[in-house]
Amino acid sequence: MDILAEALHRLSHLLTEAQRRHIPDANAAALATVDAFSRPSVRTIYILLGDAGELVFFTHRESGKAHQLSTNPNVGLMFYWPALATQVVIDAEATVAHDKLAQSCWRKRPHDSQLAAWVSRQSSPTGDRRLSASRLTRQRQAFDFQPVPLPRNWQAFELLPRRMEFWEGGWQRLQTRVAYVRQNGGTWTRERYEP
C-alpha cells in the first residue's frame, strides 16, 4: 500500500469506527476557505468517501463556499471525534468532482438530505422557516420514494490532499502525531511529530 493510500485508509477506518460507536455526525468536519479578499470562513460540512477513498462534499452552486472556491481552491479541513480522542487535519485543494464520482457519492447521501438539497436555496435570505419545510413536504411527495437525482444547482467538490495529520490523544498529553505529506515531486512521505 502506498503512503497516500495508507493515509486515506486510516481516515476511512476512523470514520467507520466513529459510525460504529454511533458518534453523532461522525462524518462532519470543519471546512475553512478564504474569499477573494483573503478573509477566512469556517463552517461544518459532511464528507463522503468515494469508492477509492476520495473526500467529497456537496454544496449549492451559489453558496459562499462555491464562490470562495472559485477564486481560491485551497482549503483546510478538520475532523474531531472527542470520543475517540482523535482529530485529523487536512490541507487540500478543492476541485469540482467528475460526474461519475459525484453521482456515486450523491447516492450515499441520506434520502432526506437529498430532498433537502432540492428545496434549499442555500445562503439565500429567508423570512420564514416554514417555507423550507413546506417545500420539503412537496418535494417528498413529488419523488414519492423514487431515487432522488442530483439537482442541477448543486455540485460536488473533491478534496485533493497535500497533507494529512492524524492526532491521537495519549496519557498525560503525550499525543501521537503522524503526518502524511505530498512532496514537490508528487511522492508522499510519512512523518512523526513531537506532541
Give the catalytic positions in this structure. Answer: 173
Contact between 14 and 46 under an 8 Å Cβ cutoff? The reply is no
The cell for 74 is 485551497
Contacts of 171 (CB under 8 A, 6+ apart): none
SS3 55: strand
Contacts of 74 (CB under 8 A, 6+ apart): 34, 91, 92, 93, 94
The values of phi and psi at residue 52, to 5°, are -100, 20
Angle between helix 129-143 and helix 111-119 axes, rounded to 10 deg = 120
Longest distance between any two alpha carbons in the chain, whole Å: 56
Considering just the CA atoms, what is the radius of gyration of the chain in Å?
Answer: 18
Rounded Cα distance, 94 and 69, in Å = 7
